[in-house]
Amino acid sequence: MSGGVDSSVSAMLLAKEDYDLSAVYMRNWDTRDEYASDKGCEWEKDWQDVQLVCKKLDIPCELIDLSREYWNRVFEPSLRQWEFGISPNPDVWCNREIKFGALLERLPLETKLEQGSWFATGHYASKSWFIHGSSTRPKLLRPVDSHKDQTYFLSAISEAGLRRALFPIGHLTKPQVRELAKEKGLSTAERPDSVGICFVGERAKFNNFLSSYIPHKPGPIINQVTGQVVGEHTGLWNFTIGQNARVPGMPEKLFVCSKDVESNAIYLVPGSSHEALFKRKLHVPEFTWIWGDAPPQGIDLPEGARLDLMHRYRMAPVPCTVRRVENIELVIECDEPQHAITPGQVAALWDNQWCLGSGVISEAS
């Protein structure tokens, strides 16, 4: 449980069933790391809300501190990518490495839960079982509420983790979830949705937060069309592909189209619809299928497999052709050019409603 309404209602729904139920709150970020301050992520308020809901539902709860695991397995690897101008997605890796990784590894040690227990979360996702050969395997599916669909963030979890997972609110919409919380009188019923990344804390600007971990490395900002140097940046990590660069004194808005690590330069083009911002083909060097031993048919054929792609959260899925060029390397070609495909972001693939897996984009062309 996170202290939000979604995990609260998930617990409420399970409490109505015949489960031996226990709640766990993960503390993933040690806010004292930020200039020795214990403010920011408000984990204490979250933990208090979890306790209030659990008291209302009459279920036990406990806190597990995973801040060390989060630092080593999510934050530090992300920090290295930001430093080299890559734009990672920590939320995807938090689910794989922490919630469906370190937490599941820790639960049998710190709680009364058995290895075969179910593991429920407040994600907007669904799951079904499918007979594959001689075994029954889990499928990660989109939820009823397409506006809140979180399967993109779950696309990197393992089949073993998915096998144990329950998604109690996958059949509900967000308004229905809030209404159920109000009817039950849960303290989290009106709590706003969380936005952004927890570890940024109170800092209003993400770049300001990163600057306390990554040293400044000034370099030129160049208009790719004219070749003119129009400014100077303090680090490649300050900009992402497709972003309005907000260069003062320019007659029109300039947008980031590429970053050159070797020359430490950022290249801009005029207008958000410039052709340099649109790519059709992207490379994923290490794609991980949730069913690791059963990738979709056709990826090794010249014509490839026809699937749907999301290369960022909340975008409309786009049809694409997927080909495997090495054991785990994929080339994904979209039917139509896509805006601002960003190295470091996650490319996730679907077969209709079924999420098949994901990997990190290395380049686009």
Q: Which positions are catalytic?
A: 94, 198
**Cβ-based neighbours of 252, under 8 Å, separated by 6 or more:** 270, 271
How far is residue 257 from each of residues 131, 151, 334, measured CA to CA in Å?
Answer: 45, 28, 19
Q: CA-CA-CA-CA torsion for 342, 215, 195, 28, nearest 10 degrees?
A: 110
Nearest CA to 356 out of 170, 133, 164, 130 is that of 130
Tokens of 330: 């994929």
- Residues in the chain, total: 365
Question: Cα dihedral sign for 44, 14, 113, 122?
Answer: negative
Place of tokens 């470091």: 344
* Tokens at 347, concatenated: 């490319």
